[in-house]
Structure 1
Amino acid sequence: MSSAPSAGIFQPLKADDPEIVGGYRLAAVLGAGGMGKVYLSYTPGGRPIAIKVIRSEFSEDPEFRRRFQQEVRSAERVQGLYTAPVIDSDTEGSQPWLATAYVPGPSLAHAVAHHGALPPRSVLLLAVGVAEALTVIHGAGIVHRDLKPANVLLASDGPRVIDFGIARAADSTALTSTGVTIGTPAFMAPEQASTGTITPATDVFALGQIAAFAAIGSSVYGDGPSHAVLYRIVHEDPDLSELPQELRPLVTRCLSRDPADRPALTEVIALCHAASGTEPLRQGEDWLPRAVAGSITERVHLLPAPAPTPPPKPAAPVPTEVSAQPPAPSAPPAPAGAPAHAAPTQAAPAKPAPAQPGQATVPTGYGTPPPYAQPPHQQPAYAYPQPPRPQPSYAQPTYAQPTYAQPRPGYAQPGWGQQTYPPAPAKPKRTGLIVTLSVVGAVIGLAVLGSLLPDSDKGKGGAAGSQGSGGGSTGTSASPGGGNKPVDPKPVSYKGIDMPAAHQLMLADNPPRPAEAPEGGSVLYGDGDLYYYQGSVSGHQLGTSNGKMVLLNNSEKGSLATCRAVTRFTEKINLDQLTVGSEVCVLSDAGHIAVATYRGKSGSKESSQYLTLDLTIWRNAEEAKKGA
């Protein structure tokens, strides 16, 4: 492979790209994927960061937003040496985004495409670093689900795993169920490709795929259409003929079809150390071939500078208060024909003279006042006491009352004959008290009158009042604004879902697929809309961790209307309360409603315990609860 310069690493922003995201000014485009676009930006201190802006198609899906918020909160807890930490995010804006530390290195996919396969020692150091990253990620209760060469970046001091857990937010949402694919088929595990089951062992399979890809330069399951690759992953053995001999124990164990046969992450690290022989594995700046290391240096040198911040707009001059009083009589008058604002020739006083009673002041900037501020300087009316001339904009009778004018002989009216300034204040009126007493009296009178009316009239009035005061009796199907009844979603039915013990499912998934709770957790405290729990004390239970349930009576027909009307809510139902055909309403906090029909459970002699359900789901039948 040639070591061509990494041209096009940093693409300029286009017309449809935002300039600022969450207060960060964008400097370049780093790339785009199935979930969104990634931009380069900088922190206020000058550290480069990568900002992933989620596609608008996903942000419009309420189920995606709920899951994205959960995954971002979990990802913020991941602080490992081989992960790119999350430093900022906005999960509730019009277009969600996520900011991580920028890693100045190519992805494994890019490095192999441009420089070829890596030597065995680099592959072992790569596998050790990815295994350490997965240990931290799984410790936070996250399964990556989309571990592939494009999500492993090669830094000068080791690999970095990115985009951990974010794929779960998009998995089985309304968008993905209509054809948008999340994840790369060539790096899926057999159980992920066939039944959609996701466990930490799924990431171990992907780790083996990545190690083989780095050593060979291609997928061990071949290329071609997605369905053909997935078939080979599920039914055929990988082609390891070109894999170096020292890497085969590691890759063979990781690529076991049965998740139980795959090694734990601690075993993966031990296998890597065993494969290195007498040379200990130590991360350092020499862990990559020279050509790949050179591309890292090149990226550092080509890193665009932070986008310039536009200069602030010039601030308006700070206004000061100057006296509008004309020069004193002793001052020489302004020359004839001079503008009214011409300043006298004498020096300005050290302190401005205090304004006289009734004297107006006008604001002006530094230096010569603008012409439009000059008319007040031409008003001689303030040289002696007299009523102010009403201005056109204040020509209201209220402002012309004698109370507000200075006294002048001959201007007195009855009751205003004082000749001193200021005039005596008018006697306060008790208008407010009179109005208050009038209102109280009216209320008492209406109450007395209402008590004399017949009971039937009062009943009619009460009924009318309750309907007109908010439509509380219109039912849950009424629109918030009291308009027409919204159209109910169409039901979708799924038959014969086998749910193993300690598994949960989400009503938004299409189809709903039982999955285990996060590693180290329990379905009792998970986020499943419906789960099956088998306890030594509490027995077998069907429950929900994300909503409420109602066991319907024999007389109640399982339907959307019935589930909306019943109120005998619970979160757990013992299986001994169920018989074949029993129906249970499930109302999730995300707004989905389902009727689960119980079809029985496995026998006591079977190796695994599971129950069988039929599901009828009305998705987005209600408004999602806040924070759900």
Structure 2
Amino acid sequence: MSGQQPDRGSAAQVFQPLEGDDPTTIAGYRLAARLGAGGMGKVYLSYTPGGRPVAIKVIRPEFGEDPEFRRRFAQEVQSAQRVQGLFTAPVIDADTNGTRPWLATAYVPGPSLADAVATHGALPVEAVLLLIAGMAEALHVIHGAGIVHRDLKPSNVLLAADGPRVIDFGIAYAADATSLTGSGVTIGTPSFMAPEQAAGKKVTPATDVFALGQVAAYAATGSPAFGEGTSHGVLYRIVHEEPDLSGVPERLLELISRCLAKDPAARPSVTEVIRLCQTANAETVLRRPEDWLPGAVAADITVRAAAPAPAQTPPPPSSAPAAAYSPTVPAAPSTPPPGYGPPTPHPAPQPYSTPPPVPAHAHAYAPTQVPAHTPAYPGHPQPPKRGGKGLLVALAAVLVFGIAGGGMAYALLTDDEKKTAGGSSQGGRTAGGGEDAAQNADPKDTDPKDADPKPEVKPDPEPADYKGINLTAGYHLTLGDDEVRPQVGEDGSYELSYDTGGYLDAEAEGGTLVLLDPGQQGSLAACRADTRFTETVYVNKLSKGRQVCVTTGTGHMGLVTVQGFSAEDSPSTYMTLDVTVWRNAVNSGSDS
């Protein structure tokens, strides 16, 4: 399943601007352009947090209102997320439960086969062989995930620089469940259906092989094998008549005619299709050069590779008018938040008279003038903290040096040293001449309870890894266990359970989950920093490689990496997970 199906038209019309009824974001994905629309919904261009372009298909609201469509759509998305083939556009994210269901796939910078043939004509034989072999590899992976495409047609095949990409697998199955298909909404293209599909009989992987033969004929001749016209007329010819292969090149005849056999059992498997392509190419191994497509089609790929970025949201206007600039009053620079913007330089030292030498035992503060409230920016640490009385003594020393010379300063400092030796606080007197015991305390004599203690930082705990855990629906994991393994039970304040309702659940008091973005690398630091907390993550949002952060109410943290799902014919429903646990990590790396 995928969501990329651009409208036909020139390359300049590929990235269409968003219109008034188009959303600007979908679940945090900022939309950059509209790629097209079809019977199922609209397709938009966006990007992952790491900058990879994605195509997001938003399903039409009529389908979203049908509960049976939603059920099948969720099932197909879950299956499609297991499809990881070289010639498919992988599904990387989806929401099947929202008001408007949607799914996101990797963006493929290339025209559809329908666009390429309509604009530039039929493809050469060598390109057709490479096209069909790549599509057969895609079908092999799709069928291996338990999916029958059902709607394989030229507009669902994208032409990339390194080969074709089959998209939209499984959507037709979900659409078949709705009453809309009988009320004016058509899903599937009659010209590329198989006889059993047109007759309403059982659909199997052989149905996709028949469609593959039709796509091959279209790519080689520029016309459907059973002609065009009304839906009823085309479907009748598919069921009862033979295809028109008069314009098909001889090297492709055996491949296409065998795929278009009326009897599904007589059609070749996808493995045999690849072998037929190799035979027609007179090679035992097909080699795909970089220029496997005609130059005019390759030029369309270049244009589509220049995907636009989303429009930047302008900052909100200031509520107060800016103060007028006055050359006599220095403008106060705006203070950036910590970590943003260039550091603010300290003011240059003011000139002062060079003081006479100071005895080594005198603790005079350096006379460089530093603002009292200098903000801490990276690279500019705060000045060292001094006792309040010590700072006053230092300033007094500087003043004395400038007025009365070194002799008086020496006497003052010597007197101060004597008082210190006798138990009095250093500095003795304030600028006003009064004693201030609270500010004159020697740091060595300060009560530890009154001083600012240096926080004790606990080191991060070592991770414990548990690979290949098969977590069955109805079972749970406890991260504090020495050996993390599935235990029966899904409801009982468990730290992480696989609910039979189809979701991961953090029921324990204080427990949370965070579903990391596609491509986001999970770590202890990432899990600590992310605050998109939830208590449930539905399985249909997960795919191989997707990660979930787990925080338990008992202070442990974990990272769950999805490695796979049970096969459809498995007697039990389970997920295969890799789990990393940092025990007592909630309170480490901070004050104890």
| TM-score, with length taken from structure 1 | 0.50
- Structure 2 counterpart of 1:133: 138
Shift of the alpha carbon at 1:279? 8.0
In structure 2, relative to structure 1, the CA distance for the partners of 1:201 and 1:306 (3 Å cut) is same
Matches within 5 A, 1:19-168: 19-168=24-173
- Structure 1 counterpart of 2:176: 171
**Pick aligned residue for 1:307 from 308, 311, 334:** 311
Matches within 5 A, 1:166-315: 166-278=171-283, 280-301=285-306, 303-311=307-315
- Structure 1 counterpart of 2:354: none
In structure 2, relative to structure 1, the CA distance for the partners of 1:313 and 1:94 (3 Å cut) is farther
1:92 aligned partner, one-letter code: N
1:288 aligned partner, one-letter code: L
Shift of the alpha carbon at 1:307? 2.6
Give the 3-state SS of the residue equivalent to 1:175 in structure 2: helix
**Pick aligned residue for 1:6 from 3, 11, 25:** 11
Give the 3-state SS of the residue equivalent to 2:298 in structure 1: helix
Give the 3-state SS of the residue equivalent to 1:227 in structure 2: helix
Contact 2:33/2:310, CA 8 A, preserved across alignment = no
Give the 3-state SS of the residue equivalent to 2:104 in structure 1: strand
Q: Distance in 2 between matches of 1:312 and 1:79?
A: 43
5+ unaligned residues in a row in structure 1: which ranges? 319-346, 354-519, 527-628
Q: Distance in 1 between matches of 2:372 and 2:281?
A: 89
Q: Distance in 2 between matches of 1:93 and 1:15?
A: 21
Give the 3-state SS of the residue equivalent to 2:84 in structure 1: coil
Q: Deviations over 1:137-162 (max 9, x none)?
A: 00000000100000000000000000
Matches within 5 A, 1:344-423: none
Q: What is the number of residues matched between the two proteins?
A: 329
1:98 aligned partner, one-letter code: L
Q: Distance in 1 between matches of 2:166 and 2:20?
A: 31
Q: Distance in 1 between matches of 2:118 and 2:60?
A: 27
Shift of the alpha carbon at 1:309? 4.1
Shift of the alpha carbon at 1:284? 2.5
Q: Distance in 2 between matches of 1:64 and 1:248?
A: 39
Q: Deviations over 1:281-329 (max 9, x none)?
A: 212311111111111112223x2123324447889999xxxxxxxxxxx
1:63 aligned partner, one-letter code: E
Identity %: 68
Q: Distance in 2 between matches of 1:157 and 1:121?
A: 14
Q: Distance in 2 between matches of 1:68 and 1:218?
A: 32
Matches within 5 A, 1:389-468: none
Q: Distance in 1 between matches of 2:103 and 2:128?
A: 30
Q: Deviations over 1:11-58 (max 9, x none)?
A: 100000001001001010001010110000111121110000000000
Q: Deviations over 1:72-98 (max 9, x none)?
A: 000000000000000111110110000
Give the 3-state SS of the residue equivalent to 1:7 in structure 2: helix
Q: Distance in 1 between matches of 2:77 and 2:568?
A: 18
2:312 aligned partner, one-letter code: P
Q: Distance in 2 between matches of 1:51 and 1:114?
A: 25
Q: Distance in 2 between matches of 1:58 and 1:32?
A: 15
In structure 2, relative to structure 1, the CA distance for the partners of 1:314 and 1:281 (3 Å cut) is farther
Q: Deviations over 1:243-262 (max 9, x none)?
A: 00000000000000000000
Shift of the alpha carbon at 1:195? 2.0
In structure 2, relative to structure 1, the CA distance for the partners of 1:310 and 1:98 (3 Å cut) is farther
Give the 3-state SS of the residue equivalent to 1:38 in structure 2: strand
Q: Distance in 1 between matches of 2:316 and 2:166?
A: 40
Contact 2:11/2:300, CA 8 A, preserved across alignment = yes
5+ unaligned residues in a row in structure 2: which ranges? 1-7, 321-333, 336-370, 374-384, 389-566, 574-592
Contact 1:19/1:26, CA 8 A, preserved across alignment = yes
Contact 1:91/1:97, CA 8 A, preserved across alignment = yes
2:276 aligned partner, one-letter code: L
Give the 3-state SS of the residue equivalent to 2:12 in structure 1: coil
Alignment RMSD (CA, Å):
2.9
Contact 1:46/1:306, CA 8 A, preserved across alignment = no
- Structure 2 counterpart of 1:504: none
Contact 1:158/1:284, CA 8 A, preserved across alignment = no
Q: Distance in 1 between matches of 2:133 and 2:313?
A: 42
Matches within 5 A, 1:579-618: none
Q: Distance in 1 between matches of 2:263 and 2:570?
A: 23
Larger mean CA deviation between 282-291 and 4-13 belongs to 4-13
Q: Distance in 1 between matches of 2:221 and 2:252?
A: 11
Give the 3-state SS of the residue equivalent to 1:51 in structure 2: strand
Contact 2:29/2:48, CA 8 A, preserved across alignment = yes
Q: Distance in 1 between matches of 2:212 and 2:572?
A: 29
1:227 aligned partner, one-letter code: H
Q: Distance in 1 between matches of 2:92 and 2:314?
A: 25
In structure 2, relative to structure 1, the CA distance for the partners of 1:202 and 1:525 (3 Å cut) is farther
